[in-house]
């Protein structure tokens, strides 16, 4: 059987984010539902968890589950209540509103380890997507669902997900796709290495000819959060930034200043003010750049400096002296932003945002860095981790894998150049002048989401997983043979085990 494109549901389940959408269109669209992959449960005055009806949740036996490998274990909190029901958990906007109102809430991230920490919490998130955000009706649910998950899940996990979606959500069809496969499909490739930069982890997945090379996958313990802490540390060394946020007449508490700097960093990178220099380029002229910026600010000339740079482009007949001055201003690379009612001028140091990915030892200079990320000292630089991962694949596969470096993650939606920067740093690990054979990789080629997806032109590679799942959904749910998804008839006759037979990655 086949389904109407307008009824298809796509759910991308990441470690820290959920993306979803309803319907497939001629021009595949970006997700309409995006929220943090977390749940919350209320606590009473005694700190005990309570139900949605304010009743005490009695403690039960501890939840037993398979523990993820040490590199995949997240530091994000997890509070499992065996006797809690799906309806006891707050999700999405409900949770955000409860936290904003100051309620005492325990936060849990059920997908942060790459597997499923708590099935009741996972079900609460998926239920919120289907029935709250996408307005599906359980009684007459005509929507098939394709969901992306982290690679390497057990067959039991596949079967339990299949059971939840059919028995709890009454879906019309169901398919599971591993996220790295969806991401590389979005780049129109079947071979490559997917580097997925997350909140606190970066997952590296080599793929050859449409299949994940499972023994070569790895995870490194550096992510966006470490980049944010590093740039906040650099901003703290910039006297003009600190003076704007914490003036001497009304200084902020050090902890409040740090959290404010983190908010500033999050605003700066999400607003697209950061670019990533390739290896060998200079992001900052050491301390001189900051000193020059401070001098400009002290003189009250930052507005004139920036306007002068703009006039350079508009005045073709400017004098040689004016052009020289304009080039000097442009070299400072200043940007003035409005943040929390402050006007703040930033310089080149903002482009050093992603440096911890390539050199995690930089995080050691941050006060209390070990508390921020306890595994940072053992984390490999991203270029080394990728090289080791690809090096574990078969020799004859490597030239095809190196021909498809695909850097993705939410950070790539706003910070451009991360893929090219990693490519330049990988070059020494690939070419070997002492070994030149037909199967020797000679270069690293980066992939990106093609321009012919107009809805995704301004999203970098950040929505690649959702785009890839949409592409697969358009193919499999229009297949009358139905060999790549589980239909209701399949589930009725075979039960949850049907998902194993319909998932080629498990065969």
Answer yes or no: do 459 and 477 share one domain.
Answer: yes
Residue 83 banded pLDDT, cuts 50, 70, 90? confident
Q: Give the Cα separation of 110 and 505 in Å (integer).
A: 24
Global pTM reads 0.86
Model pLDDT for residues 214-269, shown as the tens digit of each residue: 999 999 999 999 999 999 999 998 888 999 998 888 888 888 999 999 999 999 99
- Virtual CA dihedral for 245, 249, 254, 257, nearest 10 degrees? -10
Residue from 347, 79, 76 nearest 223 by CA: 76
Q: Give the Cα separation of 132 and 212 in Å (integer).
A: 34
Question: Where a domain ends, among 415, 430, 445?
Answer: 430
Answer yes or no: do 148 and 289 share one domain.
Answer: no
Residue from 188, 248, 239 nearest 28 by CA: 188
Residue 55 burial (CB count, 10 A): 10
Model pLDDT for residues 315-343, shown as the tens digit of each residue: 555 677 676 666 655 667 888 899 988 88
- State residue 377's pLDDT score: 61
- State residue 335's pLDDT score: 87
**Residue 38 is part of which domain span?**
5-187+454-506
User: What percent of the chain has a predicted confidence (pLDDT) above 90?
Assistant: 61
- State residue 291's pLDDT score: 42
Model pLDDT for residues 340-357, shown as the tens digit of each residue: 888 898 988 999 999 999
Q: How buried is residue 480: exposed, middle or buried, by Cβ count under 10 Å (0-12/13-18/19+)?
A: exposed
CB 226 within 8 A of CB 269: no
Tell me if 180 is assigned to some domain: yes
Answer yes or no: do 351 and 488 share one domain.
Answer: no
Task: Work out the mean pLDDT of the chain and round it to a whole number.
Answer: 86
pLDDT (average), residues 480-506: 87
271 or 326: which leads in pLDDT: 271
Domain tally for the chain? Answer: 3
pLDDT (average), residues 453-481: 92
Tell me if 258 is assigned to some domain: yes
Tell me if 370 is assigned to some domain: no
Answer yes or no: do 172 and 289 share one domain.
Answer: no
Answer yes or no: do 290 and 415 share one domain.
Answer: no
pLDDT (average), residues 441-467: 92
Answer yes or no: do 141 and 266 share one domain.
Answer: no
For residue 290, pLDDT beyond 60: no
Answer yes or no: do 246 and 316 share one domain.
Answer: yes
- State residue 498's pLDDT score: 94
User: What percent of the chain has a predicted confidence (pLDDT) above 70?
Assistant: 82
Answer yes or no: do 182 and 235 share one domain.
Answer: no
Answer yes or no: do 114 and 263 share one domain.
Answer: no
Tell me if 293 is assigned to some domain: yes
Answer yes or no: do 249 and 139 share one domain.
Answer: no
Answer yes or no: do 167 and 181 share one domain.
Answer: yes
- State residue 286's pLDDT score: 42
Model pLDDT for residues 32-66, shown as the tens digit of each residue: 999 999 999 998 766 778 777 777 777 765 555 55
Tell me if 12 is assigned to some domain: yes
Tell me if 441 is assigned to some domain: no
Q: In the 8-state DSSP scheme, what is residue 164?
A: I
Answer yes or no: do 17 and 159 share one domain.
Answer: yes
Residue 306 banded pLDDT, cuts 50, 70, 90? low
Residue from 165, 167, 199 nearest 15 by CA: 199
74 or 477: which leads in pLDDT: 477
User: Three-class SS of residue 43?
Assistant: strand
pLDDT (average), residues 271-289: 64
Domain CATH for 80? 3.30.420.40
pLDDT (average), residues 200-206: 95
Residue 208 banded pLDDT, cuts 50, 70, 90? very high
């Amino acid at each position: 059987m086949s389904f109407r494109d307008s009824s298809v549901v796509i759910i991308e389940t990441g470690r820290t984010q959920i993306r979803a959408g309803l319907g497939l269109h001629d021009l595949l669209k970006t997700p309409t539902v995006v929220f943090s992959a977390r749940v919350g449960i209320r606590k009473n005055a005694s700190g005990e968890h309570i139900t949605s009806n304010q009743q005490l949740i009695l403690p039960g036996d501890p939840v037993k589950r398979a523990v993820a490998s040490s590199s995949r274990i997240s530091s994000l909190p997890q509070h499992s209540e065996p006797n809690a029901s799906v309806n006891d958990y707050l999700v999405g906007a409900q949770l955000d509103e409860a936290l904003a109102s100051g309620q005492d809430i325990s936060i849990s991230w059920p997908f942060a380890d790459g597997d499923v920490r708590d099935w009741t919490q996972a079900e609460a998130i998926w239920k919120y997507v289907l029935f709250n955000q996408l307005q599906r009706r359980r009684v007459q649910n005509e929507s098939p669902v394709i969901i992306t998950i982290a690679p390497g899940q057990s067959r039991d996990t596949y079967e339990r997900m299949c059971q939840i979606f059919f028995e709890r959500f009454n879906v019309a069809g169901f398919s599971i796709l591993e996220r790295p496969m969806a991401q590389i499909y979005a780049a129109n490739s079947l071979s490559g290495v997917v580097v997925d930069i997350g909140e606190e982890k970066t997952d590296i997945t080599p793929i050859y000819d449409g299949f994940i090379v499972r023994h070569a996958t790895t995870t490194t313990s550096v992510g966006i959060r470490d980049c944010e802490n590093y740039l906040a540390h650099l901003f703290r060394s910039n006297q003009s930034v600190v003076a704007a946020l914490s003036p001497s007449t009304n200084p902020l508490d050090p902890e409040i200043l740090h959290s404010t700097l983190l908010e500033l960093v999050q605003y700066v990178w999400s607003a697209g003010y950061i670019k990533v220099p390739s290896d060998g380029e200079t992001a900052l002229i050491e301390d001189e750049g900051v000193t020059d910026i401070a001098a400009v600010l002290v003189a009250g000339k930052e507005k004139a400096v920036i306007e002068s740079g703009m006039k350079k482009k508009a005045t073709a007949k400017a004098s040689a002296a004016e052009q020289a001055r304009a080039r000097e201003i442009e070299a400072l690379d200043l940007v003035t932003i409005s943040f929390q009612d402050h006007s703040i001028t930033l310089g080149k140091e903002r482009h050093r945002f992603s440096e911890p990915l390539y050199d995690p030892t930089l995080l050691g200079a941050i006060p209390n860095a070990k508390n921020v990320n306890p595994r940072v000292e053992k984390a490999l630089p991203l270029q080394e981790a990728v090289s080791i991962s690809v090096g574990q694949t078969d020799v004859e596969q490597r030239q095809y894998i190196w021909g498809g470096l695909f850097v993705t993650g939410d950070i790539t939606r706003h910070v451009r150049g991360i893929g090219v920067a990693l490519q330049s740093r990988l070059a020494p690990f690939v070419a070997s002048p002492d070994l030149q054979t037909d199967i020797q990789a000679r270069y690293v080629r980066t992939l990106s989401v093609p321009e012919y997806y107009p809805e995704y032109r301004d999203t970098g590679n950040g929505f690649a997983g959702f785009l890839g799942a949409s592409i697969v959904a358009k193919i499999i749910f229009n297949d009358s043979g139905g060999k790549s998804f589980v239909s209701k008839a399949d589930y009725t006759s075979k039960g949850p085990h049907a998902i194993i037979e319909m998932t080629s990655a498990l065969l």
